Amino acid sequence: MTEFILIVISAVFINNFVVVQFLGICPFLGVSKDFKSALGMGLAVTFVMTLTCLITYPLYTYVLVPLGIEFMEIIVFIFIIAAIVQMIEMALKKFSPTLYNAMGIYLPLITTNCAVLGVAELVIDAGQIASLIGISASQMNMGYAVLYGLFAGIGFTVAIVIMSGLREKIARNGVTRHLKGFPIAMM
C-alpha cells in the first residue's frame, strides 16, 4: 500500500511531467485555452501513457532485452505510441466529433509528445522509479510500470486542467494588449 501511495504522489505531484520535467509543453500550451479541450487532452494523454506502459514494459523486458536489441527501444516505443494515438484519433472522430475538432492538430501531436515517450523510457529504467517508491530495482514489475504511467497521465491532466482554468479566468479579466495570450498565462 505504501508503494501505491508513493507512486501516486511521485507521479502526480513530485515528478509531474509538465511542471517539474517540462515534457509535453506543446500540447499543454496549445490545448489549455478552455476546460473541455484541456480535460479531453489530459484524458487522452493519460490513456496513451497507461497503454504505452502496459505494452512497452513487457515488450522491452521480454523481447528486446533477451534478443539483445534494446538499442531499438526508442523506435519501437514511438511506433507503439503512434499506433495507440491513431486508435484514439479514430475513436474520437467517430464518437466525439466536437472533442476531436477542439483538439485539432494537438491530438496527433500526442504521438510526438515527449511526456509519453518519457514515461515509457522512465518505466524501463527500473532503478529510477524503484528509488522513487522505495523498492529495489529487482522488485520493479509491470504493475508498478502501468501504475506510474496512469498517475503520470493524471498528473498531466491535473496540470493542464489547472492551466485551462487560469487561462479562462484571465481571458475574462481585462489584460493589456501586450500581455494577452501566452505572456500572461506564463506569468
pLDDT digits (tens, 9 = 90+) for 103-153: 777 777 777 778 899 899 988 886 677 777 677 777 778 888 899 999 999
Question: Which of residues 175 and 45 earns the better pLDDT score?
Answer: 45
Grid cell for residue 153: 497521465
What are the C-alpha distances in Å from 134 to residues 11, 52, 160? 14, 23, 28
- pTM for this model (two decimals): 0.85
Poorest-pLDDT segment among 109-113, 159-163, 165-169: 109-113
pLDDT (0 to 100) of residue 127: 66
